[in-house]
């Protein structure tokens, strides 16, 4: 990921920080979507730059970790979960954000490194 990150940053060195982070997140999403089990359930929104699947806290949960823009050049990492639907109910419960971790840096490479560290921890690696 380091080489890919450096490549993207070189291409976008004159862009705004938010544009750089978004471009990196788009590349990561494109690569990770193939291996995601619940790719049709990813959380999307105008300020959600990246959404990757993580294990739930219990066996009855589904989880995602997001990198979100809170304001210009300010980011947070969101931990989202929902319960798996019961077999007798057709309705899928909504996702709820259960934790928020502030990202205390605005350098694109560092923002992604902080997200990657949290992702690794949440996946149990």
Encoding tokens for residue 58? 């219990």
> pLDDT at position 96, please?
93
Average pLDDT for runs of 10 along the chain of length 125: 59 75 88 86 92 90 94 94 78 88 90 92 88
Distance CA 28, CA 78 (A): 17
**Range(s) of the domain holding residue 70:** 2-123
Burial class (CB in 10 A: 0-12, 13-18, 19+), 62: buried
Q: What per-residue confidence (pLDDT) applies to 14? A: 62
Model-level pTM?
A: 0.85
Q: Which two tokens stand for residue 24?
A: 């990196």
The continuous run of DSSP H or E covering 97 comes out as strand 96-103
Q: Do 67 and 75 contact (CB within 8 A), yes or no?
A: yes
> 75-98 burial string, b = 16+ CB within 10 Å, else e?
bbbbbbbbeeeeeeeeeeeebeee
pLDDT of 114 reads 93
The rounded distance, in Å, linking the Cα atoms of 98 and 64 is 11
Residue-level pLDDT at 79: 96
User: How many domains in the chain?
Assistant: 1
């Amino acid at each position: 990921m380091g080489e890919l990150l450096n490549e993207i940053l070189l291409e976008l060195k004159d862009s705004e920080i938010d544009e750089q982070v978004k471009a990196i997140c788009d590349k990561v999403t494109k690569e990770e979507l193939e291996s995601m089990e619940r790719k049709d359930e990813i959380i999307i929104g105008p300020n959600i730059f990246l959404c990757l699947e993580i294990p739930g806290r219990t066996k009855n949960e589904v989880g995602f970790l997001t990198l979100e823009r809170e304001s210009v050049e300010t980011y947070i990492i969101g931990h989202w979960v929902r319960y798996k639907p019961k077999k007798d109910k057709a309705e899928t419960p909504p996702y709820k954000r259960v934790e928020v971790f502030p990202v205390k840096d605005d350098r694109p490479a560092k923002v992604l490194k902080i997200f990657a560290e949290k992702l690794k921890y949440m996946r149990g690696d």
